[in-house]
Amino acid sequence: MAKTEEQTQEEQTEVKQQTEAQNAEFAEAQDTGPAPGEENLDILLDINMPISVNLGKTEVPFRRLLQLAPGSVLQLDKTIGQPAELYVQDINFATGDVVIVDGCFAVRIKEIIGTEQPEQVDEQQQ
């Protein structure tokens, strides 16, 4: 069952028709304003975000880690007066001083990190 030359040409024409690009015409998009819900941020503003405070770090050998017990003391890498680091979802967003309020530890915000634009930082350094 050999294909005739006519059948081969018909198949090639069919393949070309299937692969040819065609121009598409689209109507101009209309600006309909904000999508429903975008104008109301109350839902997002009421979400609680967990904040972590890092007072310092240290490294200990595993042997020492196994020896820790109530009353053990670990010396951290920060000295008195150095600010603690505040994190939201593992992103350092601020530094602050550890204080005591009504018998509980608290943090007084000292600096919000990342509020300056990178271009402004470069200009200040020059």
Cα separation, 106 vs 100, in Å, equals 6
pLDDT tens-digit profile of 7-19?
667 776 666 656 6
pLDDT tens-digit profile of 53-67?
999 999 999 999 999
**Per-residue pLDDT at 41:** 79
CATH of segment(s) 77-120: 2.30.330.10
**Per-residue pLDDT at 9:** 72
> Phi then psi for 86, rounded to 5 degrees?
-105, 135
**Per-residue pLDDT at 18:** 61
Any idea which residue has 């009353």 for tokens? 71
Q: Which of 51, 57, 69 is nearest to 105 (CA)?
A: 51
Side-chain-facing half-sphere of 90: CA atoms under 13 Å: 0
**Per-residue pLDDT at 81:** 87
Per the confidence metrics, is the pTM higher than 0.85?
Answer: no
Indicate the domain borders of the chain.
77-120
Alpha-helix residue ranges (DSSP H) falling in 21-117: 42-45, 62-67
Pick out the chain residues at pLDDT < 50: 120-121
Cα separation, 110 vs 72, in Å, equals 31
CA angle 26/29/34 to nearest 5° reads 155
